[in-house]
């Protein structure tokens, strides 16, 4: 399905530009960290790549389009008003998996994210960290080729963040392409193979993680790393 080519992509809402124009090629590899200050267009870029954001101009096309092979984890985890186990089975139920297969997959993932004890409890009663782990497991249960994550660890405690990062690294090692937005630079350093830096709705700099972190080229990225407020 790779590469994904974004060509001159712009997104405008109510006449106001929120992204672009953007040109970017996403190939196999990663994990890719999309970094930048708040409001720089990270979420919109991810949504465009996933195909859930209406593009005003330009094109975003996969070499072989296959939406079923993408999954997306939102910044505020959306949990269905169902039990934890039913939340996990939902994506498989949608694509009409057989019940034994669904049960096997649910059992595997529920143990993997450590929610076995609350499998039959309402997902709406989980903590923030548990909800996010559930959302990631629900995204991964279909075994997607590409996983988009929008700041999945914002507002989470250290232990939850560590568990999620471990899960993501294992997922990446298993061959899933991870593209993740974050404004946590320490996390970006821990996870990134390559980096996309965004500023004011545009891609200001891209490159391999060591190059970007050790020798940023643009003044904006240098200022961002210094902790300056970017407008």
Residues binding other proteins (CB under 8 A): 50, 52, 67-68, 70-72, 74, 78, 80-83, 90-91, 94, 120-122, 124-125
Least distance CB 142 / other proteins (angstroms): 9
Whether 51 and 67 have beta carbons less than 8 Å apart is answered as yes
Among candidate residues 85, 83, 50, 84, the one with its CA nearest the CA of residue 68: 50
Q: Which CB sits closer to other proteins, 81 or 117? A: 81
CA angle 164, 168, 174 (to 5 degrees): 145
Whether 164 and 184 have beta carbons less than 8 Å apart is answered as no
Q: Which CB sits closer to other proteins, 87 or 182? A: 87
Query: How many Cα neighbours within 13 Å face the side chain of 30?
Result: 29
Return the percent helix, strand and coil in the chain, to nearest 5: 40, 25, 35
Least distance CB 112 / other proteins (angstroms): 20
Q: Which CB sits closer to other proteins, 99 or 125? A: 125
Least distance CB 212 / other proteins (angstroms): 28
Diameter over CA atoms, the chain: 55
How many Å separate Cα 35 from the centre of its chain?
12
Q: Which CB sits closer to other proteins, 119 or 230? A: 119
Least distance CB 3 / other proteins (angstroms): 21
Q: Which CB sits closer to other proteins, 63 or 94? A: 94
């Amino acid at each position: 399905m790779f590469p994904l080519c974004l060509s001159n992509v712009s997104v405008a809402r109510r006449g106001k530009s929120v992204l672009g124009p953007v040109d970017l090629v996403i190939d196999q590899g990663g994990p890719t960290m999309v970094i930048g200050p708040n409001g720089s267009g990270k979420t919109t870029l991810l949504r465009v790549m996933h195909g859930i954001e209406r593009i005003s101009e330009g094109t975003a096309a996969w070499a072989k389009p296959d939406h079923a092979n993408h999954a997306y984890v939102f910044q505020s985890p959306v949990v269905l008003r169902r039990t934890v186990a039913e939340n996990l089975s939902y994506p498989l139920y949608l694509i009409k998996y057989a019940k034994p297969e669904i049960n096997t997959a649910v059992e595997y993932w529920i143990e993997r994210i450590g929610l076995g004890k609350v499998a039959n409890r309402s997902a709406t009663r989980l903590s923030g960290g548990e909800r996010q782990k559930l959302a990631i497991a629900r995204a991964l249960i279909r075994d997607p080729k590409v996983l988009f994550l929008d700041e999945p660890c914002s507002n989470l405690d250290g232990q939850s963040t560590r568990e999620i990062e471990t899960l993501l690294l294992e997922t990446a090692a298993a061959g899933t392409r991870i593209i993740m937005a974050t404004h946590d630079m320490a996390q970006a350093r821990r996870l990134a193979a390559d980096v996309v830096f965004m500023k004011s709705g545009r891609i200001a700099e891209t490159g391999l993680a060591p190059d970007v972190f050790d020798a940023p080229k643009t003044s904006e990225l240098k200022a961002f790393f210094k902790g300056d407020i970017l407008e």
